[in-house]
Chains A and B, each alone.
Chain A
Amino acid sequence: SYELTQPPSVSVSPGQTAIITCSGDKLGNQYTSWYQKKPGQSPLLVIFQDTMRPSGIPDRFSGSNSGNTATLTIAGTQPMDEADYFCQAWDGNIVFGTGTSVTVL
């Protein structure tokens, strides 16, 4: 089955840039979405179609996807961005990444 691998954790200082990667075989040939998950809350779509932001998502969130790696970038990270982030792709089946815990120190 298809697998998407993320780093378990990323730490960033407030105002700095957080970069979260998602790796999978030829992932660049598929569209990737990203979800923010805070404890006790439902997942929130922050990026779809590799680079698109849903209405209401701040423009500090951006995405890219090429080769075997998709990337979620949070520019000017704020304390409210502290959460788990999951990538997701579709190859006929839904696949979620392993998840990355973002800590804003």
Chain B
Amino acid sequence: QVQLVQSGAEVKLPGASVRVSCKASGYGFTSHAFDWVRQAPGQGLEWMGWMNPENGNTDYAQKFQGRLTLTRDTSISTTYMELTGLRSDDTAVYYCARGVYDSGNGQYYFDYWGQGTLVTVSS
């Protein structure tokens, strides 16, 4: 069965960087895109960026341009999200999600999600 397993919770100081991993299993790693979505306490879902694991192409939400980097290691079916220059308002649960792109219908949605990784930014 499809599974996305993320790395554990992190506590970081303001200004630091964090890297969260997401290991995929149960399907072909390069067959679907990976997206990262976060949810701050009491807030909604916020899309951060997207990566094509086949060629490493990425696209980031404008809000995260310059701070967010998505990478992957195809040999271990793992994708990574690195966020730099952390601030207190980056405290959130970060999710990886498997993207389903239907070019014929012009739709994109997420059918499987990781369990989430809590990142706390505090001095």
Contacts and interface: CB of A to CB of B under 8 A. Distances in A.
B123 interface: no
A59 to B, nearest CB: 18
A94 B35 contact: yes
Interface stretch (B10-18, B44-52, B67-75, B77-85): B44-52
Specify the main secondary structure of chain B where it touches its partner.
Answer: strand
Contacts, number: 64
B109 interface: yes
A42 B115 contact: yes
B56 interface: no
B106 A43 contact: no
A81 B41 CA distance: 21
Interface residues of A, number: 23
Contacts of B46: 96
B44 A98 contact: yes
Contacts of B105: 31, 49
A31 B110 contact: no
